Structure 1
């Protein structure tokens, strides 16, 4: 395995793609156009997420030496100091990109987001409740960073939606090694259903209000927007809910891990649904292309592992 592969594994390269849509969802809710410098906001999110992944492995290096010895640090492929330096560097890059892309309003959210990431990895995650809530806050703040401090109220529902889903997935992830509980998995499945219902209801209410005063052409566009939002939510619910329900029936470590991975990947169609709900189809298309890229990366990774074995 090459030096590049080692760092891509440390930073969870495919998983980083799942965070790109956060700032797009926040921007859509705030009615920001993702053009010019603002178009780099997803890269700010990606840098901060990757920093969290490197810091996570630094903080968990002793646990991983027992439970996941194949990871980059315990296997000796990356030193702890290199991982910590990577986390610090990517944090600085992420904050710099947020300042360039969204100016002071975005940076004022980026700073507490970065602080929350470091707090989670170095302290909060040692407690199940605190860690789960802080992780949810990280995802919510990432959405708000796309909106900026001047549009927080408009983006708050989208932020709470992503935060709620993240809390459920994080609770499940704590059972990846020793298994979860049926209650936790069932609660995650219920959260998925609730999130879908809330987003859909918001889209329908907004659409109904618009069609009462719009022309027939705008009415057709509104109906198309609601239909597209429904389609994205169907993908989200099917992808996340099915795996969570399986874990609820059999809360083994294998099913908890599968539900966690499904929950992380399903953030992409959820982000797409949020951008569609706020009338940003181009952002939804961009998010869809990210999903395709993630699938290709995972397929390439599987092929490489097969060829190496």
Structure 2
């Protein structure tokens, strides 16, 4: 074998390994976590101030580590099950090692917690809560039809508050905002329980009820003096148009393909949900900034699976 051929094969194996570890991190989903931070940050009043960049960048780095670390451990804990149900995934296919995935997950969670600590003690506390909640979901609660959606919703709700935590007083006043992504992620998690073998119409109906609560809550925010309702309205209507059709189809025909399509649509539309909040608190231009993450997340989702 020539030196050039050997080098080429080594490069191919290395590239495949890098791609496998990136797949474990779900890059397209990380973009939706950034949107949470931007939405939460919109409520701090720092968006147009000179103090904007340092805390915002630290929080974006924090959510990158926390989200990526959480989903890596999802595959770590599911390695044996995936060997049967999803053998194409990185760990059961042998593209990444279990030991390597564990090391990557620990490093990412540590990065997320360390970055949050640079902003405030409250940010650090929220990051620790998110990390613990993610591990509990990965290891235990995701197999429970009620606790699982609540647990995952808690992760996302705290992630939104992580964006608010740059100003501790605002977090204390706006803690209820966490209930919106909690209900939204609860809907996605509920319906996702049938993405391998198909689900039940009952879980589809529950998911639709939760989505209805979310949209109702968004409209309800218009009554807050700090929220500009007219700016929030078009983003909320876009959210309804993106998520309700696939969720209605999955509830009516709960086979694996329909459910996976609904889950993907729901995850991507998280950016639209966050854009609605951002527009309400900081104006429609800032909402458009958050919404601009959507094409990027969609593009990455064509390269790396979201579920």
* SS of match in other structure, 1:278: helix
Deviation at 1:301, TM superposition (A): 6.1
Partner of 1:85: 103
Does residue 253 of structure 1 match 2:256? yes
TM-score (norm 2): 0.86
Q: How does 1:1-309 map onto structure 2 within 5 Å?
A: 2-33=16-47, 35-40=52-57, 41-100=59-118, 102-148=119-165, 149-203=168-222, 205-206=223-224, 225-299=228-302
Tell whether the 8 Å contact from 1:23 to 1:142 is kept in structure 2 after alignment. Answer: yes
The number of residues matched between the two structures is 285
* SS of match in other structure, 1:30: coil
Q: Deviations over 1:218-263 (max 9, x none)?
A: xxxx8xx533311111121111111110111111111111111111
Report the CA distance shift for 1:6/1:163 in structure 2 as closer, same or farther (over 3 A). Answer: same
Tell whether the 8 Å contact from 1:22 to 1:143 is kept in structure 2 after alignment. Answer: yes
Structure 1 spans left out of the alignment, 5+ residues: 211-221, 303-309
Q: Specify which structure has the higher proportion of helix.
A: 1
Deviation at 1:17, TM superposition (A): 0.9
Partner of 2:12: none
- Taking the aligned partners of 2:178 and 2:17, their CA distance within structure 1 comes to 36
Q: Deviations over 1:106-134 (max 9, x none)?
A: 11211111111111112222322222211
Deviation at 1:299, TM superposition (A): 4.5
Partner of 1:214: none
Report the CA distance shift for 1:187/1:126 in structure 2 as closer, same or farther (over 3 A). Answer: closer
* SS of match in other structure, 2:43: helix
Deviation at 1:294, TM superposition (A): 1.3
CA RMSD across the alignment: 2.0
**Range with greater deviation from structure 2 (3-12 or 266-275):** 3-12
- Taking the aligned partners of 1:98 and 1:60, their CA distance within structure 2 comes to 28
Deviation at 1:42, TM superposition (A): 2.0
TM-score (norm 1): 0.86
**Range with greater deviation from structure 2 (84-93 or 154-163):** 154-163
